[in-house]
Amino acid sequence: MASVITATTTSGLTQSADNSGVLQLASGTGNLVTVPSVTGTAMVSGNMPAFSAYASGSTNIATSTWVKMPCNTEEFDTNNNYDSTTNYRFTPTIAGYYQINGYVELNSGSGNGFIAIYKNGSAFRYGVHAGINASNGLGMTVSTIMYFNGSTDYIELYATQNSGGTIATGSGAASVYFGGAMVRSA
């Protein structure tokens, strides 16, 4: 036996029995949360921060210089944790584990390019060459699952190259992007 707990505007909380084997929390006529009959953490998707942003313009990267990628155009930011105006950083306010991804395309294929996720101001994860793109540039990608404390931890996307000169990045949603989403709480 299990229970359905419903919040209504006329009766407050009501409980009814069913034979589903799970606990259901409902609001009016629609189920909000179903808690399965297994152990673990139940997450409500509405409280899981996620963001996606890209650079609207290109950025020049001098050889052997790490440069923060100014992903200044937000596609979405579900919990207002991404700063797209000055710091270009993600600072989630909910502690937990997050999937983070970044991509930077250089407009030249000469030399090597490198990409990194910086956590709290220091390199945390390095990425790899994703290969030569259609315009003979170099694509670099980085992806990781990482922990955030929910208060002070933040990340930024950086890139560098070693061509011996200055190379510009691409621009737009397909050329320089940064994003992430919470995958589970702490």
- CATH number (domain holding residue 175): 2.60.120.40
Query: Cα separation of 183 and 186, whole Å?
Result: 10
63 and 153 co-located in one domain: yes
Query: Cα separation of 54 and 31, whole Å?
Result: 36
Residues spanned by the domain of 94: 49-185
According to DSSP, the residues that pair with 158 across neighbouring strands are: 68, 116
Task: Report which secondary-structure segment, H or E, holds 81.
Answer: none
| pLDDT, position 63 | 93
Q: Is there a domain that residue 40 lies in?
A: no
Q: Is there a domain that residue 166 lies in?
A: yes
Amino acid at 154: Y
Q: Which residues of the chain have pLDDT under 50?
A: 1
Q: Is there a domain that residue 12 lies in?
A: yes
| pLDDT, position 65 | 96
155 and 88 co-located in one domain: yes
Least Cα distance to 70 among 185, 172, 183 occurs for 172
| pLDDT, position 40 | 54
| Cα dihedral 123/112/172/94 (nearest 10) | -20
Query: Cα separation of 161 and 120, whole Å?
Result: 22
Q: Is there a domain that residue 43 lies in?
A: no
116 and 165 co-located in one domain: yes
| pLDDT, position 80 | 96
- State pTM to two decimals: 0.77
88 and 176 co-located in one domain: yes
Q: Is there a domain that residue 93 lies in?
A: yes
| pLDDT, position 170 | 92
Q: How far apart are the first and last CA of the chain?
A: 31
